[in-house]
Chain A
Amino acid sequence: MTDQQQDDRDGDVADRGPALHERGSDAAPRGALRITVSRTGGVAGLAPHWSVMVTEEKDVDSWLSLVESCPWDAPAPGIGGEPDRFVYTIRVLQPDHERDARVPERALDGPWADLVARVKDASR
């Protein structure tokens, strides 16, 4: 197994979840960029996550252009998901800016799909 299969459930289950993680020491340094992707749902109910930290300026620019092309302002999915489908939580942390989105598997296309695939690749 590889690191990308790392599950984030070894702590207190009730406290897990991207919104409660990745702060403090995990925050991106000045001029850098940190992107995390966590996946929940699925019949197995596992919650793997992937992350990438980017510090080189040209890499930051390249990642940011992909990040900016994602539809961050799209309306959030309503209450009640689809059985056993994955839901991706994508977070982008910059020193002065942070955003996150929940993207159901069915909506993971275009730039969202590219971004998730790129984060997965980079965290291998």
Chain B
Amino acid sequence: MAHSIVPPYLLARLAEADAASMQRAASAARRSLRSEPAVRAERRREGLAAPLPAASASQNAALKRTIADAANTELLPGLVVRSEGAPATDDPAVNEAYDGLGATHALLLTAFGRNSVDGRGLPLDATVHYGDDYDNAFWDGARMVFGDGDGEVFNRFTASLSVIGHELAHGVTQYTAALVYAGQSGALNESFSDVIGALVEQHARGQRANEASWLIGEGLFTAQVEGTALRSMVEPGTAYDDDVLGRDPQPADMAGYVQTRDDNGGVHLNSGIPNRAFALAAIELGGFAWERAGRVWYDAISGDGARDEGDGAAPPRARLSSTATFLEFADATVASARALFGEGSAEAAAIAAAWVTVGVRSDDRPAAG
């Protein structure tokens, strides 16, 4: 295939997308967010703001958030306490959930052209104050659920924007690659949620890759815990070291891969490996992580590129398997990077190198794709 200065995905998108209407929808979505700092327009790299998938351009990309309160029971959904457009309440958990859903919706729409979790404008529902001292947050297949934390180890789980993004991203994965939540595919499912969680936070703060903390769940631990966050994407295994909780057990490369029956095969442990590959590639590429590494990861998970058969921009690629291994996913990201940014692009090179650093691909492996 001929090399070109203009990445093939850009040519394809420009040919088919109504970029202008997409941009209007995106800025409308941004304006509707009460507390999200705008990404400074002048910092956006020219040419990378437009190439969004056309699929959602014609759809109504309006946000529809509903926050319910479980009143410290485990009964879902709970009572609705704030609907779309309603003013802030005096409950910080409600407002954090509302704003966090908005920030996640904004990232998906503006960075990836994805209209909500399902790509079809799914209303975003969340429940706060779930359970009694409940130390967790989860996506239950249809809504996000947040506990208040026990107050000794954990604060309320809405306090971290990256955790809100993480949970909604489980919904995105459910509607796209449907990665089975066990073993390596489960760790990839976890890692993609961390990637989106980090990107939501960086996008809301207007942070470049080299300015970001790359922490997941910063601020969730109480002051009694010796630790800054649940996980570090850039330095897995360094997020906490506490006399009671122990040390952050995440491995940073395949040499440390954990075999265990717990946690569906260590999905929250081994996710450190693909997490680090993403952070390393994003930092190497510079700029806003959602524009380059983020687009590639999203493409590999969503299979958007694989659905572009027949547009002539790139050869069709296989959809990611729901039981993908780290290596299969690594190959998928390299293939996506080549299709989106070009065969010999800096993106493809940085991503391939990052997978070598974490031990998933080997240096002498013949180029796949």
Which A residues are within 8 Å of any B CB, using their own CB? 1-2, 5-10, 13-14, 16-19, 38, 40-47, 79-87, 89
Tell me whether chain A's interface is mostly helix, strand or loop, or mixed. Answer: loop
Chain B residues near A44: list those with CB within 8 A.
135-136, 154, 217, 220, 230, 268
**B residues in contact with A13, CB < 8 Å:** 249, 258, 260, 269
* Min CB–CB distance B170 → chain A (angstroms): 4
Alpha-carbon separation in the docked complex, A25 to B260 (Å)? 23
In this assembly, does B259 line the interface, its C-beta being within 8 Å of a C-beta of chain A? yes
Contacting pair B245 A46 (CB below 8 A): yes
Quick one: closest A residue to B137, CB to CB? Answer: A43
| Contact (Cβ within 8 A) A40 B166 | no
Segment with Cβ contacts to A, from B38-46, B92-100, B138-146: B138-146
> Quick one: given A80-B182, A87-B263, are A42 and B136 in contact (CB under 8 Å)?
yes
Give chain A nearest CB distance to B247 CB in angstroms. Answer: 7
- CB of B264 within 8 A of CB of A1, answer no
Q: Which residues of B contact A80 (CB under 8 A)?
A: 180-182, 186, 264
When C-beta atoms are compared, the residue in chain A nearest to B244 turns out to be A1
A-B contacts, 13 listed (Cβ < 8 Å): A1-B225, A41-B262, A41-B267, A42-B268, A43-B136, A43-B137, A43-B163, A43-B230, A47-B262, A79-B182, A81-B182, A83-B139, A83-B189
Q: How far is the CA of A42 from the CA of B173 in the complex (A)?
A: 17
Does the CB pair A16–B262 fall under 8 Å? yes
User: What CA separation (Å) do A8 and B135 show in the bound complex?
Assistant: 17
Smallest beta-carbon distance B319→chain A, Å: 18
Q: Looking at the complex, which one of B141, B167, B249, B263 makes contact with A41 (CB distance below 8 Å)?
A: B263
Known: A44-B154, A80-B180. A7 touches B244 (CB 8 A): yes
Q: Would you give the shortest CB distance from B351 to chain A, in whole angstroms?
A: 25
Distance (whole angstroms) from the CB of A67 to the closest CB of chain B:
22
On chain B, the number of residues with a Cβ less than 8 Å from chain A's Cβ atoms is 45
Tell yes or no: B157 within 8 A of A by CB. Answer: yes
Contacting residues, chain A, for B62 (C-beta < 8 A) = none
- Using an 8 Å CB-CB cutoff, how does the interface string of B330-358 with A read, 1 for contact, 0 for none? 00000000000000000000000000000
Whether the Cβ atoms of A84 and B180 lie closer than 8 Å is no
Residues of B within 8 A of A7 (CB): 244-246
* A31 CA to B296 CA, complexed, in Å: 60
Q: Give the CA-CA distance A43 to B149 in the complex, in Å.
A: 12
Determine if B260 and A81 form an interchain contact, defined as CB atoms under 8 angstroms apart. Answer: no
Within 8 A of A (CB), among B174-205: 180-182, 186, 189-190, 193
Per the 8 Å Cβ criterion, residues 229-277 of B in contact with A are 230-231, 244-247, 249-250, 258-264, 267-269
Query: Which residues of chain A come closer than 8 Å to B141, judged between CB atoms?
Result: 82
B60 interface contact, C-beta 8 A: no
Question: Given known contacts A1-B224, A82-B140, A84-B167, is B244 in contact with A40 (CB within 8 Å)?
Answer: no
Q: A42–B149 Cα gap in the complex (Å)?
A: 12
Q: B152 interface residue, CB < 8 Å from A?
A: yes
**Chain A nearest CB, measured from B144 CB (Å):** 10
